[in-house]
């Protein structure tokens, strides 16, 4: 186990009807908020009205900025920064999934910063302060509701880049599983793939002696595997949704990577995919991750065998551990297919004519590598994308 520091201050408010507390939760921070959300779904479900009513009860003024898209855009972030400055806004409330939250985080750190907010995403500067943000989560997926990270897409060149800083932890996140009842099935499945990917990025490590976190990750994966098919069949099964929603947050709040180095190569490759093709992040991950696994599993067959046995209940082939390892990968692919996700680029509608371009961009023009479990150069990324065809 490596030395580590862990602190996650986000207050989680979990359960039925908890969105009605949002005004009260904001009261201590500011009387003027930016209400940030995506499309109109929060209006059709009635969530919007409940949020407004709670804000009004607490005497909180709000300015709205909607229109966040999946793979949230830098241009909207800049608009948000401008609105916050002009209106002297002191708090950002994100109502939505990971894209809305990540966009809110970008606005939050952009407001007090004199330079271009994209600097942070390019690593040119470090986030020291940000407006406080709060979250009402509607999609279990990104884990951004209790993370310090934000991923934004710059339309100028379609670069998708991430940043992390303690100032970006939401002050609170309201998690009501009922809010997920109305999600389209494909979005549910994409969210599940995102959560599984967060767990697997942490799981596949070269750090030795990480038994507790190995087991905690396995537990969280099993919970996702067990409950996602249920919510796909019974969209209003509160108990199963509660498992999925809480697992999605636990997957990404920092606890499960304490003392270990995660991989994050598949996320890096997927960012190139969804940066160019604007596919759903979870769908991209369902395509990239199994290909990545097939490409790298020989780096530590035992770890892949442990994944197969403990997560997928496969009988270990003691005299052929590689077979066990491969069965685990196959089970993961089957799971993705079973919940309705693509597992190849062609199913995503992506041709093979830009694989090299993605490999080139993913390594910043062959100046860097992706991932830690195995360091991937341009050729490796190209090979993985080829395996994913």
To the nearest whole angstrom, how small is the minimum distance from the Cβ of residue 122 to a copy of itself? 29
Q: Which two tokens stand for residue 243?
A: 């498992």
Question: Per rule CB under 8 A, is residue 15 in the interface with a copy of itself?
Answer: yes
Site string for a copy of itself, 257-286 (x = CB under 8 A): -xx---------------------------
| 358 backbone dihedrals φ, ψ, rounded to 5° | -65, -40
Closer residue to a copy of itself (CB): 132 or 265: 132
Q: Which member of 55, 250, 308, 329 binds a copy of itself (CB under 8 A)?
A: 250
Buried b (16+ CB within 10 A) or exposed e, 341-354: bbbebeebebeeeb
- CA gap 147, 10 in Å, rounded: 8
| Stretch near a copy of itself under the rule CB under 8 A, chosen from 52-60, 156-164, 246-254, 281-289 | 246-254
To the nearest 10°, report the CA torsion of 314, 317, 320, 322: 10
Residue closest to 132 by CA, chosen among 91, 165, 83: 91
* Main-chain phi, psi angles of 159, to 5 degrees: -95, 135
Helical (H) or strand (E) element with 136: strand 133-137
Judged by CB under 8 A, the residue of 206, 209, 233, 313 near a copy of itself is 209
Q: Per rule CB under 8 A, is residue 1 in the interface with a copy of itself?
A: yes
126 binds a copy of itself (CB under 8 A): no
3-state secondary structure of 285: helix
Of residues 18 and 99, the one with the C-beta less far from a copy of itself:
18
Rounded to whole angstroms, the Cα distance separating 322 from 284 reads 26
How far apart (Å, rounded) are the C-alpha atoms in residues 55 and 61? 7
Torsion angle defined by CA atoms of residues 33, 252, 220 and 327, in that order, rounded to the nearest 10 degrees: 130
Q: Does 181 bind a copy of itself (CB under 8 A)?
A: no
The smaller minimum CB distance to a copy of itself, of residues 153 and 249, is found at: 249
Find the binder of a copy of itself among 56, 57, 212, 375 (CB under 8 A): 212
- 224: closest CA among 108, 385, 336, 101? 336
CB closer to a copy of itself, 218 vs 333: 218
Which of 3/88 has CB closer to a copy of itself? 3
For a copy of itself, the binding residue among 223, 266, 306, 372 (CB under 8 A) is 223
> Contact between 2 and a copy of itself (CB under 8 A)?
yes
**Binding residue (CB under 8 A) for a copy of itself from 145, 194, 243, 327:** 243
Site size with a copy of itself, rule: CB under 8 A: 39
Q: Which helix (H) or strand (E) element contains residue 133? A: strand 133-137
Contact set with a copy of itself (CB under 8 A): 1-16, 18, 208-209, 211-212, 215-216, 218-220, 222-223, 226-227, 239, 242-243, 246-247, 250, 255, 258-259
């Amino acid at each position: 186990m490596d030395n580590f520091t862990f602190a996650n201050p986000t207050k989680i408010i979990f359960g039925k009807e908890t969105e009605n507390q949002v005004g009260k939760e904001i009261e201590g921070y500011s009387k003027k908020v930016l209400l940030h959300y995506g499309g109109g779904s929060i209006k059709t479900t009635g969530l919007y009205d409940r949020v407004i009513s709670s804000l009004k009860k607490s005497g909180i003024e709000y300015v709205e900025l909607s229109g966040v898209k999946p793979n949230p855009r830098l241009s909207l972030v800049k608009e948000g920064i401008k609105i916050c400055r002009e209106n002297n806004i002191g708090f950002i409330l994100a109502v939505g999934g990971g894209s809305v939250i990540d966009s809110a985080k970008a606005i939050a750190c952009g407001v007090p910063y004199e330079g271009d907010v994209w600097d942070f995403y390019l690593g040119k500067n470090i986030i020291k302060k940000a407006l406080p943000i709060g979250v009402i989560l509607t999609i279990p997926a990104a884990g951004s509701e209790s993370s310090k990270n934000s991923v934004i897409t710059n339309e100028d060149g379609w670069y998708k880049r991430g940043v992390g800083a303690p100032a970006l932890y939401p002050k609170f996140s309201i998690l009501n599983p009922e809010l997920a009842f109305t999600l389209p099935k494909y979005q549910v499945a994409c969210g599940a793939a995102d959560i599984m990917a967060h767990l697997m990025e942490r799981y596949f490590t070269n750090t030795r002696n990480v038994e507790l976190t190995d087991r905690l990750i396995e537990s969280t994966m099993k919970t996702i595997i067990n409950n996602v098919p249920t919510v796909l069949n019974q969209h209003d099964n509160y108990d199963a949704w509660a498992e999925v929603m809480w697992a999605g947050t636990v997957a990404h709040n920092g606890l499960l990577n304490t003392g270990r180095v995660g991989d994050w190569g598949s996320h890096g490759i997927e960012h190139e995919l969804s940066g160019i093709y604007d596919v759903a992040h979870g769908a991209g991950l369902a395509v990239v991750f199994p290909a990545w696994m097939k490409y790298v599993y020989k780096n530590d067959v035992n770890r892949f065998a442990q994944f197969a046995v403990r997560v997928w209940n496969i009988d270990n082939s003691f005299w052929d551990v590689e077979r066990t390892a491969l069965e685990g990968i196959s089970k993961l692919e089957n799971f993705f297919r079973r919940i309705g996700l693509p597992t190849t680029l062609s199913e995503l509608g992506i041709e093979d004519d830009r694989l090299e371009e993605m490999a080139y961009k993913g390594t910043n023009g062959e100046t860097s590598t992706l991932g830690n479990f195995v360091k991937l150069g341009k050729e490796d990324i190209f090979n993985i994308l080829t395996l994913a065809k």
